[in-house]
Amino acid sequence: MRAAILTSGGDAPGMNACIRAVVRGCLAKEIDIFGIRQGYEGMYTDNIYRMDVSSVADIIHRGGTILRTARSDRFMHEEGRTEAAAFLEGYGIDALVVIGGNGSLTGAHELSQLSNVRIFGVPATIDNDLAYTDYSIGFDTAVNTVVNAIGNIRDTSSSLGRTTVIEVMGRHCGDIALHAGLAGGAETVIVPEAPYDIDVICQNIRTGVERGKLHSIILKAEGIGLSTQALAEILQLKTGCETKTVILGYIQRGGSPTARDRVLASRLGFRVSQLINENAPSCCVGVRGENIVEVPFEEAMQMKKEPPLEFLRICETLL
């Protein structure tokens, strides 16, 4: 049996741990495994190589992806996906493992409809915006990176008595902000999925100052429709508190994966190698509670993400 593996879209810490688990899990079952570099794009440039045990040595702790990644425009079109299917069939590939986020797994689903190659989707995105799984690979590391940043920013904000608006990633999903806000003790968390009231935020800042609070941390997800700079200017104008901004940006996507991400990546990757070996049909793997689950693409891609908005109320009460 022959399998191939690629990583696609934005990289996420833990992708390497997952590649390692898929490759070594397959080799243990005597399945030939090929790496495709640069995501779906590698199928158009013949960027494929045979992997062995040593190909994945010393990578479990590394951020990024040894297979590199890309956002492929060509794969977005049906013609491009048909070419990709022909490429896989040309190499005699029986199963393809796609490690990536929402867009990448949507593409994997579309490819599975055009091809007899079995496709297995593994959720890896710091955004945690895939509804069918509780967590995606990379999310925990990103949240920890943000929590550490909040700690550093709080030190300097307190020293100077400032309000700081911190912007975190997540595209249209507020999960990073909600988890990091709760763990980092942010006074206010603003996410795309819930309305917010600038006057209430200003009132909270004023109340904090009155009771001797030295800083205010406002954690804002990137997709709320108001720029971080504009929000800071409004807050400064309305409260009279000096207000600074920090956009954490790509720092959230890099770094060594946490133990939690490595465990998740290894479990998901190992499960996929079993599914390949068992001749299981195409599906996405994920985690619900403590259990690894398999969900048909059709169902997984239709599910609507429900962020833990109750975290907002907890933050508001504990501020």
As measured in angstroms, the least distance from the Cβ of 43 to ligand F6P is: 20
As measured in angstroms, the least distance from the Cβ of 252 to ligand F6P is: 7
User: Residue 28, Cβ neighbours under 10 Å: how many?
Assistant: 13
* Closer to ligand F6P by Cβ: residue 3 or 246: 246
Strands of 163-168's sheet in order across: 188-190, 216-221, 163-168, 243-247
* Closer to ligand F6P by Cβ: residue 136 or 236: 136
As measured in angstroms, the least distance from the Cβ of 193 to ligand F6P is: 15
**Footprint on this chain of ligand F6P (rule: CB under 6 A):** 10, 125-127, 169-171, 253
Distances 180 to 48, 194, 305 between C-alpha atoms, Å: 38, 16, 18
Say which of 11, 52, 127, 261 is annotated catalytic.
127
As measured in angstroms, the least distance from the Cβ of 198 to ligand F6P is: 24
* Closer to ligand F6P by Cβ: residue 187 or 222: 222
282-285 long-range contacts, CB within 8 A, separation 24+? 282/112, 282/118, 282/119, 282/120, 283/120, 283/121, 284/105, 284/120, 284/121, 284/122, 284/123, 284/130, 284/132, 284/133, 285/120, 285/121, 285/122, 285/123
* Closer to ligand F6P by Cβ: residue 162 or 253: 253
| Residue 94 appears among annotated catalytic residues | no
When CB distances to ligand F6P are compared, the closest residue is 10
Q: Mind telling me the catalytic residues?
A: 127
